[in-house]
A = this chain, B = another copy of it.
Amino acid sequence: MSIRTAIIDDNHFLIKSLQEKLSLFPDITISFTANDGLQCMDKLNQDPQVDLMLMDLEMPVKNGIEATAAVKQRCPDLKVIILTVFDDDENIFNAIQAGADGYLLKETGAHELHNAMVQTLNGGAIMTPSIALKALNLLRSPLAPTVAHMEESVQLSNREVEVLEQLSTGIPYTAIAEKLFISPFTVRKHIENIYKKLQVNSKVMAIEKAKRNGLI
């Protein structure tokens, strides 16, 4: 099965170069090329025989983000891979919001590009590693503004960590004692020591602080 591909880029030279790159692969046929988002939609309306689109971001008249959104609106199953030199958070985020199925930098090699196209058509998504990292960070950021403050890296003994681990499950001292095969008195002693080290004075605070500091 051939991958019917469209290339959207305002730089004629780059389109030419891409066509040459892709001509190495017999399973890829170029359906059409376009120089901006509007032209892209025109051609798409005339000839819908397209499986995948390689989309530039910076284009006149209608940029890659808008074009992607429009294409996805018309043909939700048509895969769109962004192919650009821009790797800033905002472009990445907007492209993904617009429905892009992949995001590659233009430095991507021929075989890597081909592989990305195949993977995308198989229902996956491909990103340049540096883009993937930014995508992950975007996914983290809305909910995780915390970056680690770690006052002075408190050092707990192995045994104390074990006790703390059990403590964090919410079971009472007596149950912890049974699990660790020690007396409840010893458990309480360990917990006292833990509290002193962590500078807290309750279960909840100890658990919270331990989690923040990566102790458990």
Contact = CB atoms under 8 A, between A and B. Distances in A.
A136 B203 contact: no
A148 B96 contact: no
B170 A136 contact: no
A2 interface: no
Oligomeric state, in copies? 2
Given A96-B136, A170-B200, A123 B119 contact: no
Contacts of A28: none
Given A124-B130, A129-B126, A148-B73, A208 B170 contact: yes
Interface string A57-91: 00001100010011111101000000000000000
A interface, over-half SS: helix
A214 B74 contact: yes
A130 B97 CA distance: 18
Contacts of A204: 167-170, 203-204, 207
Interface of A: 38, 41-42, 61-62, 66, 69-74, 76, 93, 96-97, 99-102, 119-120, 122-130, 132-133, 135-136, 138-140, 142-144, 148, 150, 158, 161-162, 165, 167-172, 200, 202-205, 207-208, 211-216
